[in-house]
Amino acid sequence: MNYEGKKILIIGGTGTLGQLLTRHLLRQNPQVIRILSRDEYKQFEMQRMFSEHQSKLRFLIGDIRDAQRLNRAMEDIDFVFHLAAMKHVPFCEYNPFEAVQTNIIGTQNMIQAAIQNGVKKVLFTSTDKAISPSNTYGATKLMAERLISAAEYQKGPKQTVFAAVRFGNVMGSRGSVIPLFYKQILESKSVTVTDLHMTRYMMTATQAITLMLKANEISMGGEIFVLKMPTVILADLVDVLVEEVCQKHNISDEILRKEIGLRPGEKRYEELMTEEEILHAWETSDMYIVPSPFKENILERPYPEAIKMLPSAVNSHQEQPITRDTLRSWIREEKLV
């Protein structure tokens, strides 16, 4: 998809993915990219980081809970990328209605504003924790996914196309385990781990952005796009990080690994899709596509290079994890250490 001369809004654009997405989109010479978030310091930092692009960037302070502010921010916009959310599992557990207001009500505010302003396409970022959710975060993201799919049914004659992408853990993103472990190794010569046998779907930030842009290009409305992500065993991630950080900083001390048990709402494994979704999904070489349940006329082959999904494991405990060498190369390529 060509974004040259287009007007783009990135909601929650000051985060790790938002910054990388902004950098990718700027290469296509859009007319303007508006960054909406509620943290003025992060906006200040990002403004300095992208100072050479100040003519194309607009920084807007606002909260997706505020429907009126969102509606103003979306005026005359062509494409919306919705990245804003409460994402931290324990914080969502202890503040569940706050998560509801941001992740559910905020998403509905975004949908209404997009329809009212005639936005061409909206892409919503979800999580694998929305599958069989055991925590507030996953449950609110599942509800937000349903709102996105239902928006296709409820929009009437409006032409806005809504779709979602479902991520696993994005390596190195703000608040994720890699920056945390890095800090612990340097400061306390130990790593605090919930469960060394835990498995997670992981992707690099670059892979996440590639999926988002590809999904936005081929979406027809109401779909959920899921990257075929490899699984990682937490013990492998800890060992590789310890080796890399110690090598970089010439640390010879033994690094302790402290298991503390699962936090409220956490699972030992994740799933990418439900059994029902697998029955209806399509797949390409790099992603699964779950079509909208509200689309009455599904084409025989609706997506380029897609085939009907073959039965396969979409559970992080059942899939073969990536090797430590692959994990190490990802960490080095993304400059996470």
- Give the bridge partners for 81, in sequence order: 10, 123
Residue 155 is among the residues annotated as catalytic for this protein = no
pLDDT tens digit sequence for 127-166: 999 999 999 999 999 999 999 999 988 888 889 999 999 9
One digit per residue, the tens of pLDDT, for the chain of length 337 reads: 899 999 999 999 999 999 999 999 999 999 999 999 999 999 999 999 999 999 999 999 999 999 999 999 999 999 999 999 999 899 999 999 999 999 999 999 999 999 999 999 999 999 999 999 999 999 999 999 999 999 988 888 889 999 999 988 888 887 788 989 999 999 999 999 999 999 999 988 888 999 899 999 999 999 999 988 889 999 999 999 999 999 999 998 889 999 999 888 888 899 999 989 998 899 998 899 999 887 665 556 678 788 889 877 688 888 889 999 999 998 998 888 8
Task: Considering the candidates 42, 87, 129, 267, report the single residue annotated as catalytic.
Answer: 129
Q: What's the farthest any 2 CA atoms get from each other in the chain?
A: 66
Contacts (Cβ under 8 Å, ≥6 apart) of 157: none
Give a three-class secondary structure readout of 225-244.
EEECCCEEEHHHHHHHHHHH
Q: Please give the domain boundaries of the chain with CATH numbers for all domains.
A: 7-169+202-229+271-312 (3.40.50.720)
pTM of the model: 0.92
Kindly list the distances between the CA atom of residue 154 and the CA atoms of 105, 108, 145, 151, in Å, as whole numbers in the listed order: 16, 12, 14, 5
